Structure 1
Amino acid sequence: MNLLFIADPLESFKVHKDSTLAMMRVAQEAEHHLWFCESRHILWKGDLVVADCQPLSIKSSLSVWFELGEQQSRALNVFSAVQMRTDPPFDIEYLNTTWLLSAAKRQGARVFNDPTAVRDHSEKLSITEFPELIPPTLVTRELSAVEEFHKVHSDIVIKPLDAMGGMGVFRVGPDGLNLASIVETLGENGARTLMVQRFLPEIAQGDKRVLLIRGQVVPFALARIPQGKEIRGDLAAGGKGVAMPLTADEKRIAEKLAPILNERGLFLVGLDLISGYLTEINVTSPTCFVEISEQSQFNVSQF
């Protein structure tokens, strides 16, 4: 099989823990042929969506871990599968790429995750489809609405809708210190929509990443545990990743969502759970494959 990976520059990969690289290694070990390009190399040419891509070989060396062949222009519909693994943020160029991938799908390309489903699925707002599973939540541009939410819940977290890796996440405690300033800054004086949630102190035990693959639930989660005085468990924010079996509540939530999301064409999904509450549904480029595999001996990439 010929597999095309659309991803960030290979030089930017964190070789020791990159989930996309883990997928590439397993595919190569299964004797599939790998191809690589960046999203900027996807284009409409003539009457087809094509990729200016290169054959890719994964090496055992950590210092020089890949080898690329000569660039070729190939229609996306000739590949056995196209994996979109470009990291967020979901900006206008990410959106443009999904439109091109949707056109490629109409031409017969097999794209994972489905670009239309990705485009329709806000990783933060999508949780509102399942209100029984989420903590008290407010989505607004209005400072007055945030202030009222704070009066009710006292200890809250405020975050932008388009950030990743814990960027732009602020906690405001019962004293309300800097609440207006945080909302005005993050919300650009009402120009950007924010998500506000009741603070969950159980974050101290970890923000759990639960992976769904082809509608099946990976039986281990990665608890991303905040360090020091930090409230963010994201690995990009310095959190410590600890693999552990799913709890009964985590398994129940994951098994409820897995068939629903898979039916929509969301082949690979990363749920974020804190103390049994659903906080995000990640579909752009879910990670934590390597950490779970190394610590649990459950090979996520072969699942």
Structure 2
Amino acid sequence: MSKTRRIGIVMDPIGSIKPYKDTTLALMLAAQARGWHLEYLEQSDLLVRDGLPFGRMRTVSVRDDRSRWFEWQGEARVLPLGELDAVLMRKDPPFDMHYIASTYVLERAEALGVQVLNRPQSLRDCNEKLFTAWFAELAPPTLFARDAATLRAFHAEHGDVIYKPLDGMGGSGIFRVGADGLNLGAVIEQLSDQGQRMIVAQKYLPAIVDGDKRVLMIDGEPVPYCLARVPMAGETRGNLAAGGSGRPQPLSDADRRIAAAVGPELRRRGLVFVGLDVIGEYLTEINVTSPTCAREIDAAYGTDIGGKLMDALARRFAGQD
């Protein structure tokens, strides 16, 4: 008889999610379908006392229902994180000191044998924009800098450039500066806070008209379908949060080539659930904090991405038992 597992989920407030499209809910549904118990936490519920990690957690049950997608099972209580079998870290950015502190707490739980997805150290090490520098041969011309002259020179070289913050999500703070250089100075000043913050400059890729593809990786292997997020008219951002429309589709040869190149490094770093962003034939971001789009792909192709991630987690349990 298999052991009943207890899975902690660190996430944004569950009452504020959009259940029909929320990937974290899909993961929780998949875990519950295995008979595993779910313990809900927010970042503010994590603490360390005398070197031991604890969490103020509350048992929750979930359902695939747009009006009533969760129900509490009992009162909240503070318990050792070491009593959990696994923790899914699903807190959305911003990636700030609060987030970093959470990874320290989860790293203490990991030291006690708790499976933490994704690995806390790798969440700190792998900035979702800058991590592409480890795979520069797969990425478009890209610059990470905060010096205005350097950022301007990149535009002079490439003529049509996307500028974006290092810590943004959902398409926030993304600007395109065309060949005329209109507003280049203002964009650099605003994003870099007058040279105080490093930002990203990336050559504009015309293939964005066909979508910014989200390729989901589980244990270093790609889900065979992706979601192309196509910009609305007059936009350069395909993000669904920025008004883009989702177009599920099979992976292309380029998508598979990129996934095959990145996968081994993801496995080595304990990055079990990751979203690669691909425009045309280029890797543009590697999302490690809380990748999304599982619900849209599942709805189109019946892929059960949450179930595949739970399979990966079950394999880790088997290796411990």
Length-normalised TM-score, structure 2: 0.92
Structure 1 residue 219: Cα displacement: 0.4
Unaligned runs of 5+ in 2: 309-321
The separation in 1 between residues aligned to 2:63 and 2:217, in whole angstroms, is 28
- Say whether residues 1:289 and 2:297 are aligned partners: no
How far, CA to CA, are the matches of 1:141 and 1:47 in structure 2? 38
**How far apart, in 1, do the equivalents of 2:179 and 2:119 lie?**
42
Counterparts in 2 of 1:163 and 1:152: CA distance versus 1, 3 Å = same
Task: Give the corresponding residue for 2:210.
Answer: 205
Partner of residue 83, structure 1:
88
Task: Give the corresponding residue for 1:37.
Answer: 41
| RMSD (Å), alpha carbons | 1.1
**1:268 paired residue number:** 273
Residue of structure 1 equivalent to 2:258: 253
1:99 counterpart residue number: 104
The answer to whether residue 76 in structure 2 is matched with residue 71 in structure 1 is yes
The answer as to 2:237 corresponding to 1:232 is yes
| Partner deviation per Cα, 1:225-266 (whole Å, 9 max, x = no partner) | 001101000011011011100001110110121121112110
CA distance in 2 between counterparts of 1:137 and 1:100 reads 34
Contact preservation (8 Å) 1:242, 1:295: no
Contact 1:77 1:110 in 2 (8 A): no
2:61 corresponds in structure 1 to: 57
Q: Which amino acid aligns with 1:32?
A: W
Q: Give the AA of the match of 1:85.
A: R
Shifted more, 117-126 versus 255-264: the winner is 255-264
- Which position in structure 2 is the counterpart of 1:21? 25
| Code of the aligned partner of 2:22 | D
Per-residue deviation, 1:60:
4.9
Q: Go from structure 1 to structure 2 and tell me whether the alpha carbon gap of 1:27 and 1:227 turns closer, same or farther (over 3 Å shift).
A: same
Q: Is the contact made by 2:91 and 2:289 (CA closer than 8 Å) also made in structure 1?
A: yes
Aligned pairs (5 A) from 1:207-226? 207-226=212-231
Tell me by how many angstroms 1:74 deviates. Answer: 1.7
Separation (CA, whole Å) in 2 of partners of 1:45 and 1:137: 43
Match of 1:7 in 2: 11
Distance 2:230 2:208 in 1: 7
Tell me, in whole angstroms, the C-alpha distance in 2 between the residues paired with 1:146 and 1:57: 49
Does residue 153 (structure 1) correspond to residue 168 (structure 2)? The answer is no
1:185 and 2:193 aligned = no
TM-score by length of 1: 0.98
Q: Please list the CA deviations of residues 136-179 of structure 1 after superposition, one character each: whole Å capped at 9, or x if unmatched.
A: 11111111112211111111110110111111000000100010
Aligned length: 303
1:106-121 mapped onto 2 (5 Å cutoff): 106-121=111-126
Q: Provide closer, same or farther for how the CA distance between residues 145 and 71 of structure 1 changes in structure 2, counting only shifts above 3 A.
A: same
Name the CA shift for 1:143/1:25 in 2 (closer, same or farther; >3 Å): same
Question: Does structure 1 retain, via aligned residues, the 8 Å contact 2:19–2:65?
Answer: no
Separation of aligned partners in 2, 1:61 and 1:251: 34
Which amino acid letter does the alignment assign opposite residue 185 of structure 1? Q
Separation (CA, whole Å) in 1 of partners of 2:185 and 2:86: 48
User: Could you tell which deviates more after superposition, 225-234 or 96-105?
Assistant: 96-105
CA distances 1:197-244 after superposition (whole Å, capped 9, x unpaired): 110011000000001111221000100000110100001101101110
- Separation of aligned partners in 1, 2:65 and 2:146: 49
- Structure 1 SS opposite 2:38: strand
Distance 1:272 1:61, change over 3 A: closer
Question: Stretches of 4+ moved more than 4 A in 1?
Answer: none
Q: Which runs of 5+ in 1 are unaligned?
A: none
What does 1:162-177 align with in structure 2 at a 5 Å threshold? 162-177=167-182
